[in-house]
Amino acid sequence: MFKSLPLSIAISTALFSCATYADDAINLSQQNSSQVSGQAAASAVLSPLAAMNEIDIERITVRGAYFGQQNADAVKTPTLLVDVPQSLSVISSEQIQEQGFVSIADILQYTPGASIGQGEGHRDQMTIRGQNTTADFFIDGLRDDVQYFRPLYNLERVEILRGANALLFGRGGGGGIVNRVTKTANTRESFTSLNANIDTFANTLIAVDHNGVMSNEQALRVNAYYEALDNHRDEYDGDRFAINPTYTNNLSDVTQLVLSYEYIDDDRVVDRGVPSVNGPPLEGFDDTFFGSPDINRTTLQAHVFRARLDHQLSDVWSVNGTLQYADYDKLYQNLYPAGFDEAANTVKLDGYKDETQRENLIAQFNAVGQFDTGTWEHTLLIGAEYGNQDTNNTRRDTLFADSNDDQITFAFTDPLVIPAVSFTDFVRDRASEVSFSSVFVQDEISFNEHFILVAGLRYDQFNIDVVDQREIANGIEDGNNGFLGSDDSEVSPRVGAIYKPTDDLSIYLSLSRSFLPRSGDQFLSLSLTSQALAPEEFENREIGIKWNVSEQLAFTTAYFEVTRENGTVTDPFNPENSLITGTETNGFELQLVGYLTDDWQINAGYSYLDGEETGRVIDNDVSNRTLSQLPENMLSVWNRYQANDQWAFALGLIYQSEQYTSLSNNVELPDFTRVDAAVYYEVSEDLQLQLNVENLFDEDYFPSAHNDNNITIGEPINARLSMSYQF
**What distance in Å separates the CA atoms of residue 32 and residue 143, rounded to the nearest whole number?**
30
- The full set of domain ranges for the chain reads 7-726
Residue from 291, 389, 289 nearest 332 by CA: 291
**In sequence order, what are the residues at sequence separation of 6 or more whose Cβ sits closer than 8 angstroms to the Cβ of residue 683?**
646, 689
Residue from 183, 131, 125 nearest 149 by CA: 125
Question: Is residue 137 helix, strand or coil?
Answer: strand
C-beta separation of 536 from 583 below 8 A: no
Question: Is residue 172 helix, strand or coil?
Answer: coil
**Cross-strand partners of 621:** 618
Residue 54: what pLDDT?
36
Question: Is residue 382 helix, strand or coil?
Answer: strand
**In sequence order, what are the residues at sequence separation of 6 or more whose Cβ sits closer than 8 angstroms to the Cβ of residue 405?**
399
Residue 52: what pLDDT?
40
What backbone phi and psi angles, to 5 degrees, belong to 314? -165, -175
Average pLDDT per block of 10 residues along the chain, 727 residues long: 36 34 36 33 36 36 39 89 93 95 96 95 96 95 95 96 91 94 96 97 98 96 98 96 98 97 98 96 96 97 98 97 98 97 97 97 98 97 97 97 97 96 96 96 97 97 94 90 92 97 96 90 76 86 96 95 78 60 92 95 97 86 92 98 97 98 96 98 97 98 97 98 96
**What distance in Å separates the CA atoms of residue 10 and residue 462, rounded to the nearest whole number?**
39
Fold of the domain built from segment(s) 7-726: Maltoporin; Chain A (2.40.170)
How distant, in Å, are the alpha carbons of 44, 193, 248 from that of 188? 15, 16, 11
Largest CA distance in the chain: 81
